[in-house]
Structure 1
Amino acid sequence: MSQQLTVIGTGVIGNGWIARALANGWDVVAFDPDPDAPQRTRAFVDNAWASLEKHGLAQGASPTRLRFVESIEAAVEGADLIQENVPERLDLKRKILAELDAASAPEVLIGSSTSGFKPSDLQQACTRAPGRVIVAHPFNPVYLLPLVELVGGEATAPDQLECARTLYQALAMRPLVVRREIEGHIADRLMEALWREALHLVNDGVATTEEIDAAVVYGCGLRWSLMGTFLTFHLAGGEQGMRHMLEQFGPALKLPWTKLEAPELTDELIDRVVEGCEHQAAGRPVAELDRRRDDFLVELLGLVQKYWPEAEGLEGRI
């Protein structure tokens, strides 16, 4: 029996969830008040489908298993999982999540794609079954990147998070259950730290956007794609591993190299960043860059699976 994902809000992230679910043989019902949403979504799925085919489609996968409806009430009917993707405004998310909570069966999980808000804050206006409203934060492009951060709130029971883990695994995701709720969860807090430092380097005239991206692509990024931060530094300690690395390089953590606060987004800094990115894009449209990124990620995901096969059981250890 096929499963149904209900998607509320069809921006980049919502459309990413739609493409992933379709590629995994799910039915998808979508709601977005924008009358142009169906056309945009189908164009998005068409652009992503070639990469999804290379990555591997589930039996029965088809873009035709998507339909749009005209109300939240119609969207949640028959849902096995509901994914909310409205703009990152707490008041708006609370309103929409309260409507979803009131309209859907109480056992149906509601995941929010929020990148920053805590689930307890999202649950506050929900009165029917607030515990099933959790954070389910993915990464762009959602249809290829497998990580989803699952965070429960004050009203969430352990069995609801376990249900969430099972559902997102059925979408070929790698769920990471965050131990306690915190603004920004895990991965975005790490990315924001790098982003702040990158903005300082541009602002201070140390490097261009292209040079900073090259430092990541040809340096730390290559290692991170397989081992992440801690295991990479473990190797830096030689045969003695992390303990030796911390003894040798730990004192450098106190040096004033990094800047904890983001620089002021002045017009000059904005212009530098925008002009740098436009230079890097070299006139290529975003859709072309999307396809280039996706082709690369399909091959990279195959390499990660080849060289880190034990990650198959990672979900049970987090």
Structure 2
Amino acid sequence: MNRLAVIGTGVIGNGWIARALAQGWHVVAFDPDLNAPARTRAFVDNAWPSLTQLGLATGASPERLTFANTLEEAVNDADLIQENVPERLALKQDILAAIDAAAAPGVIIGSSTSGFKPTDLQKHCQQAPRRVIVAHPFNPVYLLPLVELVGGDVTQPEQLASAQALYQALAMRPLLVRREIEGHIADRLMEALWREALHLVNDGVATTEEIDAAVVYGCGLRWSLMGTFLTFHLAGGDQGMRHMLEQFGPALKLPWTKLEAPELTDELIDKVVEGCEHQAAGRSVAALDRRRDDFLVELLDVVHKYWPEAEGLKGRI
């Protein structure tokens, strides 16, 4: 039976815990917050209906979760270690160095960092720094299968191959990033859209609700099946991407985007916050989580139907 050690039990750490439990793994968590165990168990309880609907692995049970009293106890005998502390480089470096010193040298240590490069994360590790990699998931981790795997300067191909197999055993869809870069792949794409959306709100072009509608009822529907490049390939008609670039390529030089993020003034912050609160319509975050999860369960069934290579994940998200 595989054993996952989870260090840090915020939203992402708890997402890893719920996913691993649903796959029949044993999970040992560590978080210095005394309230962490209660929060984690409530999180798992909220996620379990969606995981049950998708299909649980043999032996899956929330009872396979335990909390350790120390970091060293948590990583002892782990088959995989996932670090999820707050996104501050110095903090992550210190925690990863402590994990590296305590864990058996052959155990992969994945960091859930959304932006830092693995070479920077490995900097203070003394025992086996090469096994410290980026393993960046997406919220909700227990439903979304993508995990970006990135190795640092000293990481060897065998470490990434081992990591890929372990995350596949968690029913993830590992994406091996060819070289390290801040923000990896998916977050860089999302941040570009996010910056543009903030400009549109700041300039009074659209509200948060209107921008979200543009994604939900337009590009987002296509992206969920075929992503960016294949979508544009179809835009070129029978000649595909070549014709699309010939016809629409010059528009890339037009001032349609603003690459720099707008200044987060009090006025812009108020516009964004008020817009989101209007969209939430009084519903709690927990209620919105359940709505999102119900939607994702149904959407993932559609993705599995139309992506044959995802078929192996069906029932084991």
TM-score w.r.t. length of structure 1: 0.97
Q: Provide the rounded CA distance (Å) in 1 between the counterparts of 2:286 and 2:189.
A: 27
CA contact (8 A) 2:23 2:57 kept: yes
Change (3 A) 1:153 1:313: farther
Q: Which has the higher contact order (CA 8 A, sep 6+)?
A: 2
Question: Superposed, which structure 2 residues align to 1:69-108 within 5 Å?
Answer: 69-108=68-107
Q: Provide the rounded CA distance (Å) in 1 between the counterparts of 2:71 and 2:114.
A: 22
CA contact (8 A) 2:15 2:140 kept: yes
The one-letter code of the counterpart of 1:289 is L
The one-letter code of the counterpart of 1:239 is D
Q: Provide the rounded CA distance (Å) in 1 between the counterparts of 2:242 and 2:304.
A: 28
Structure 1 residue 167 corresponds to structure 2 residue 137? no
**Structure 1: runs of 5 or more not aligned:** none
The one-letter code of the counterpart of 2:145 is P
The one-letter code of the counterpart of 2:117 is K
State the percentage of identical aligned residues.
Answer: 83
The one-letter code of the counterpart of 1:215 is A
Structure-1 residue corresponding to 2:273:
274
Query: Per-residue displacement from partner, 1:233-278 (whole Å, max 9, x unpaired)?
Result: 0000000000000000000000001000000000000000000000
The one-letter code of the counterpart of 2:252 is L
How many residues align structurally?
313
Secondary structure of 2:149 counterpart: strand
Measure how far apart 1:78 and its partner are.
1.2
The one-letter code of the counterpart of 2:134 is V
TM-score w.r.t. length of structure 2: 0.98
Query: Per-residue displacement from partner, 1:134-154 (whole Å, max 9, x unpaired)?
Result: 000000000000000000001
Structure-1 residue corresponding to 2:21:
22
Q: Provide the rounded CA distance (Å) in 1 between the counterparts of 2:259 and 2:75.
A: 43
Q: Provide the rounded CA distance (Å) in 2 between the counterparts of 1:120 and 1:80.
A: 22
Q: Provide the rounded CA distance (Å) in 2 between the counterparts of 1:225 and 1:148.
A: 16
Structure-2 residue corresponding to 1:209:
208
Q: Provide the rounded CA distance (Å) in 2 between the counterparts of 1:24 and 1:311.
A: 17
Secondary structure of 2:115 counterpart: coil
The one-letter code of the counterpart of 2:162 is C
Query: Per-residue displacement from partner, 1:213-247 (whole Å, max 9, x unpaired)?
Result: 00000000000000000000000000000000000
Structure 1 residue 254 corresponds to structure 2 residue 243? no
Structure 1 residue 115 corresponds to structure 2 residue 114? yes
Measure how far apart 1:310 and its partner are.
3.1
Aligned-CA RMSD value: 0.9
Question: Superposed, which structure 2 residues align to 1:216-227 within 5 Å?
Answer: 216-227=215-226
Q: Provide the rounded CA distance (Å) in 1 between the counterparts of 2:232 and 2:155.
A: 35
